[in-house]
Structure 1
């Protein structure tokens, strides 16, 4: 493995340990003969949540991946959720795209801003600038470390009342928010999102139904679904232990671009399919960690 692959492998290893639905999905796929092992799955993209404050946010985290060959692509804006985002194309089509979103802290109430800054102001310089980006172990530890002190449950709850993205991120920091199985590369009968969703539900997995159980781009070429985030026992700074949403698993079907519709299946590569992201789809996928889904 090269350095970038080691960083990505570290992310996925810890994510699998923390998100039981990952192994539930993989075990179900193996049991039903969709795949022989997890290595057969194409990871469409992985996603991070960040907070837009000095020294942090997108401008900080993206440095790790740009250094290792990723290319910054389209900007996305989420007015309702007060978020900005970019996605990044990998240096090798076998690697996942990366999606990094950022909370527009200045768009929140004064109270929420004060709570957030009481934690993030502990970061007085860009922490990525101190990393040896050629050291995968150092980068891996950074991506799984707290950048500020553990929040109190009172602060977490106050943020959640205004922005569940804010509360999720203040507690979970840079833990991987989700990885994404490329449905279109699965075997016939499971390679379309509707059929794949039925397979997941047959195995008892709960899907995020915000905006429907799958979200479809206006051009009809990008279809996405996701599990509802599993709950984790969170230990807060004021001694409270409370179950909050962790991470989840996403599924994406990228259909062939119109000019490649007649291409034989054996010749199809990633570049022949719909690329990028769709803000309307992602807006509803974000809700996989929201109480409107996890409390059902």
Structure 2
């Protein structure tokens, strides 16, 4: 019987060359994958349960039936036709887009001022801007409502969006981003005769698409999830999706959980799409400081 010496030598050489650390890591990988699979399953369990309940009626839900029901069409009719959740979603999308664009514009202007302008008390102003990050909206909600009512903005789109067009988060994000850019960019722009707005539009914005993408995701989710302010300022069909979801709790007699769960799933689709579309700039936008 012939023995292939080359194969023996090659296999033994490969085993000998392979570092012990790589073999140890390969041995660990299986239970790391199992742990990640368990974490993913636990994270997805509430969504899967909501999807299951959206097909059931109250009797099936309260009996903890783990099989899909036959009430999906009825629940969808309640959500989409009777309660007109689609109109609420359109209102929320318009509000979230206006807030995102407004906060990006004011944030870029604030970052430009804090980095490229020299004025007395610049650090004091920036300090007070940072303080507002620690102040939740609920603290100033009554003052905002009084100002909006005095300016006749209560009950319309202007009152819904204008009080939230400025953002300390956007100002801080763009200030940090602009501070990490080379300082000679502004000097070169001044030598070319560019004014500050031309410098912002032609130089800074093309270098800030990743930051804009990250901010768009954050502020769109912020605007989409707003509940208390629209509840106070808007009425009737002009309400937003979060208030519309709250109204789904009372569908018929008592609380009907099927339409509520289905409405929550439908309302989560636009934020997921926005995140998927802007996932790459979102991740790069927060990695800029680390890379530099």
TM-score greater than 0.5 by the shorter chain: no
Which structure would you say has the larger Rg? 2
Structure with more contact order per residue of length (Cα contacts < 8 Å, sep ≥ 6): 2
Greater per-residue helix proportion: 2
